[in-house]
Amino acid sequence: MELSLKITEIFFSLQGESNTVGLPTVFIRLTGCPLRCSYCDTAYAFSGGKKMALSEIIDQVALYNTQFVTVTGGEPLAQSACLDLIALLADKDYKVSLETSGAIDISKVDQRVIKVMDLKTPSSGEIEKNLYQNIQYLTKKDQLKFVIADDKDYQWSKSMMREKALSDQCEVLFSPVMGAMKPVELADKIIQDQLPVRFQIQLHKYLWGDIQGK
């Protein structure tokens, strides 16, 4: 029997985050997440969804004229067949990125796939779910994201960078929580402290507002 996944949506848009921001990308949003972060903007993906065979997902991705595919959630790795999906996409020469909370083991993620992993900050309410051993599986092509709502989050993120030498491991992203920290405030902090991080905002929210499926 062919493997399947529960899918909330598959849509085509501009990448709003990471180092491919602005590039036309197919997004595959898997259903389900074991975390409940305070700033989550995809709670609609916690439940429901449609069961789809992997071949059906691949066929739908092929409808769009792009090489960029992002597998996201929810938490995509909460469904074990996600590993099979991203490997199949890489086999077809897509440039695949996986957005993961960092709360589930990433050691078996296909090496061709770009991992975009969070470390949950204090304001998330889920800091205890961070699986710090995942950091060892990040490489220079991968990205580690801190979502920052206030100065406590910022100071904690800075401390984690120093303690674990994160900028030597992979690219580090600092992103403000929309409506909680002004982007210019975070940008000023990064400049003042001369941090080796990439500042990012959620481009899609500036273009279309807080509309999902964009």
Burial of 39 (0-12, 13-18, 19+ CB in 10 A): middle
Instruction: Report pTM.
Output: 0.93
| pLDDT band, very low/low/confident/very high, at 210 (cuts 50, 70, 90) | low
- Listed in sequence order, the DSSP H helices in the chain are 54-61, 82-91, 151-164, 166-169, 183-193, 203-208
CA dihedral for 164, 168, 169, 171, sign (positive or negative): positive
Residue type, 93: D
What is the set of domains in the chain, with CATH numbers? 4-208 (3.20.20.70)
| pLDDT band, very low/low/confident/very high, at 18 (cuts 50, 70, 90) | confident
| pLDDT band, very low/low/confident/very high, at 214 (cuts 50, 70, 90) | very low
Q: Which residues pair with 148 in a beta bridge?
A: 176
The number of C-alpha atoms within 13 Å of 80 and in the hemisphere containing its C-beta is 1
The CA distance from 117 to 66, in Å, is 23
The CA distance from 141 to 211, in Å, is 29
96 within 8 A of 58, measured Cβ to Cβ: no
- Kindly report, residue by residue over 93-129, the tens digit of the pLDDT: 999 999 999 999 999 999 999 999 999 999 999 999 9
- Kindly report, residue by residue over 190-201, the tens digit of the pLDDT: 999 999 999 998
Q: Which of 12-16, 138-142, 189-193 has the lowest mean pLDDT?
A: 12-16
